[in-house]
């Protein structure tokens, strides 16, 4: 055979080998973690699984965070805690365009999975992303876009991730993480702190804590494989973070609330003694707001699937019974006697606030100390100031 023919045959064999190796090469798996954004549903951050499969061209992003505002009954389902999210498969480049636009930082962690693990995970994600499989019932804390990433990785690793994360805890709770991340938006922070019940105050394992994407990234960084090698082989920044950073952890203090509550109670006692009609006028918006918020908390407990808001002890402080005081308060403003029922309701509402304090002293209680410190003195002062009902 001529030399030229032999060289051509050899080159053809090498090219065929390289092509076969490229086609059969296992995909590379990574986790992209997006920093919190400025819109309220972006406050907790986000993440996605990245699959870099040579057989499929450019890297793909498997993103569990898609929802449709135009979906029929979306807002009714949102209110009732029955939201539907879906997994989307899209090119990583396309997925990153939005985060680049709004200035949200993105980091990428490449994981040390075996060829079999990576191939099986890529296939499972592709199957899950099909329209008939993509939807899931969303829960803020227990089944969200980050826990879906966590669970998919754990299945690929044969349970290694859960095994290493389930027994460790940093002492964080659903409440502490929610109010921390929501703190830049005051209304959102207030809604979480008032609206969450005892479920939100259990100390979380690192596994449960992974409902926050940044916490999951921290745990992946610490995870070891069976032979002691780190799960994360490399990590780098895809996009710089150009907006306000993730809120830092700060201790919750109840005593500033107590100072305000005591000052309000002192004011109530002084005003009520001298000008009961003015006190009644001042109490009207407080009782109205307390009663309406109490009705909302009761609705969350009785009429929605938001189990993190069930059995909320704040119902004893923001009491729907406050609405029963409004007719009597209006009578006082008009210089009439409010009647004996008005005074009995005052005492009953103050007693409920004392029950909230008693519950706070029990082990594993819902964390309501700041709101007890603020509102209990107010309820007690209003109940004590009997002249609020004088004519």
At 274-283, the pLDDT tens digits run 899 999 999 9
Query: Do residues 34 and 63 make contact, with C-beta atoms less than 8 angstroms apart?
Result: no
Q: Alpha carbon 95 to chain centroid distance? A: 22
Over range 323-342, report the average pLDDT: 92
Q: What percent of the chain has pLDDT over 90?
A: 80
pLDDT score, position 20: 41
Q: What angle do CA 216, 219, 224 make, to 5 degrees?
A: 135
d(CA 255, CA 347): 25
Residue from 272, 260, 256 nearest 381 by CA = 272
pLDDT of 77 higher than 90:
no
pLDDT score, position 216: 98
**Which residue do the tokens 């979906």 mark?**
71
Residue from 319, 363, 325 nearest 345 by CA = 325
Q: Residue 23 class from Cβ within 10 Å (0-12 exposed, 13-18 middle, 19+ buried)?
A: exposed
Q: What angle do CA 71, 77, 79 make, to 5 degrees?
A: 130
pLDDT score, position 211: 98
Over range 336-345, report the average pLDDT: 90
Instruction: Quote the DSSP letter at residue 169.
Output: B
d(CA 285, CA 265): 16
Q: How many CA atoms lie within 13 A of 195 on its CB side?
A: 18
Query: Do residues 169 and 206 make contact, with C-beta atoms less than 8 angstroms apart?
Result: yes
Residues 249-259: tens digit of each pLDDT: 888 899 999 99
pLDDT score, position 41: 86
Query: CA 343, 346, 348, 350: dihedral to nearest 10 degrees?
Result: -140
From edge to edge, which strands make up the β-sheet containing 232-239?
A: 135-137, 84-91, 60-66, 46-52, 28-34, 106-111, 232-239
Residues 130-180: tens digit of each pLDDT: 999 999 999 999 999 999 999 999 999 999 999 999 988 999 999 999 999
Residue 59: pLDDT band (50, 70, 90) is: very high
- Flag the least confident range among 219-228, 333-342, 347-356: 333-342
d(CA 203, CA 262): 31
- Domain 26-239: give its CATH architecture: Alpha-Beta Complex (3.90)
Query: Average pLDDT, whole number, for the chain?
Result: 91
Q: What percent of the chain has pLDDT over 70?
A: 92
Burial readout 341-360 (b: 16 or more C-beta within 10 A, e: otherwise): ebbebbeebbebbeebbeeb
pLDDT of 124 higher than 80:
yes
Distances (CA, A) of 279 to 270, 284, 286, 341, 386: 9, 9, 11, 18, 11
Residues 13-49: tens digit of each pLDDT: 434 333 444 445 789 999 999 999 999 889 999 999 9
Q: Residue 237 class from Cβ within 10 Å (0-12 exposed, 13-18 middle, 19+ buried)?
A: exposed
Alpha helices, H only, the chain:
3-24, 74-80, 92-102, 115-128, 145-156, 160-165, 174-182, 186-195, 206-209, 213-222, 255-274, 276-303, 326-333, 340-360, 369-384
Over range 291-319, report the average pLDDT: 97
* Angle between the N-to-C axes of helices 276-303 and 255-274, in degrees from 0 to 180, rounded to the nearest 10: 140
Residue 71: pLDDT band (50, 70, 90) is: confident
Length of the chain: 391
CATH 3.90.1720.10 residue spans of the chain: 26-239
pLDDT score, position 346: 94
Residue from 238, 195, 211, 182 nearest 38 by CA = 182
End-to-end CA distance of the chain: 121
Residue 387: pLDDT band (50, 70, 90) is: very low
Residues 204-247: tens digit of each pLDDT: 999 999 999 999 999 999 999 999 999 999 999 999 999 999 99
């Amino acid at each position: 055979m001529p030399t030229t023919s032999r060289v051509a045959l050899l080159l053809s064999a090498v090219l065929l080998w390289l092509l076969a190796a490229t086609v059969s090469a296992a995909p590379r798996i990574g986790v992209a973690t997006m920093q919190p954004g400025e819109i309220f549903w972006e406050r907790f951050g986000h993440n996605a699984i990245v699959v870099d499969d040579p057989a499929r061209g450019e890297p793909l992003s498997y993103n569990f965070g898609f929802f449709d505002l135009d979906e029929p009954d979306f807002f009714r389902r949102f209110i009732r805690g029955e939201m539907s999210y879906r997994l989307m498969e899209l090119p990583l480049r396309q997925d990153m365009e939005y985060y680049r636009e709004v200035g949200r930082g993105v980091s990428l962690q490449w994981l040390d999975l075996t060829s079999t693990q990576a191939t099986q995970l890529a296939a499972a994600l592709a199957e899950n992303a099909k329209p008939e499989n993509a939807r899931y019932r969303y829960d803020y804390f227990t089944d969200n876009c980050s826990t879906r990433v966590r669970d998919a990785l754990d299945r690929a690793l044969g349970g290694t991730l859960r095994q290493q994360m389930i027994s460790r805890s940093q002492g964080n709770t659903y409440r502490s993480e929610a109010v921390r991340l929501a703190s830049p938006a005051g209304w959102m922070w207030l809604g979480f702190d008032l609206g969450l019940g005892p479920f939100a105050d259990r100390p979380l394992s690192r596994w449960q804590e992974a409902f926050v994407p940044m916490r999951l990234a921290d745990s992946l960084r610490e995870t070891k494989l069976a032979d002691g090698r780190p799960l994360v082989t490399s990590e780098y920044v895809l996009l710089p973070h150009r907006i306000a950073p993730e809120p830092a952890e700060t201790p919750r203090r109840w005593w500033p609330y107590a100072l305000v509550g005591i000052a309000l109670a002192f004011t109530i006692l002084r005003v009520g003694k001298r000008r009961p009609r003015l006190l009644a006028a001042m109490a009207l918006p407080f009782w109205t707001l307390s009663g309406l918020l109490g009705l909302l908390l009761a609705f969350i407990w009785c009429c929605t699937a938001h189990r993190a808001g069930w059995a909320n002890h704040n119902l004893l402080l923001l009491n729907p019974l406050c609405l029963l005081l409004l007719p009597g308060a209006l009578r006082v403003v008009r210089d009439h006697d409010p009647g004996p029922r008005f005074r009995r309701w005052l005492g009953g509402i103050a007693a409920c606030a004392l029950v909230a304090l008693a519950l706070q002293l029990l082990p594993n209680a819902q964390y309501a100390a700041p709101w007890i410190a603020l509102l209990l003195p107010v309820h007690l002062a209003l109940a004590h100031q009997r002249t609020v009902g004088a004519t």
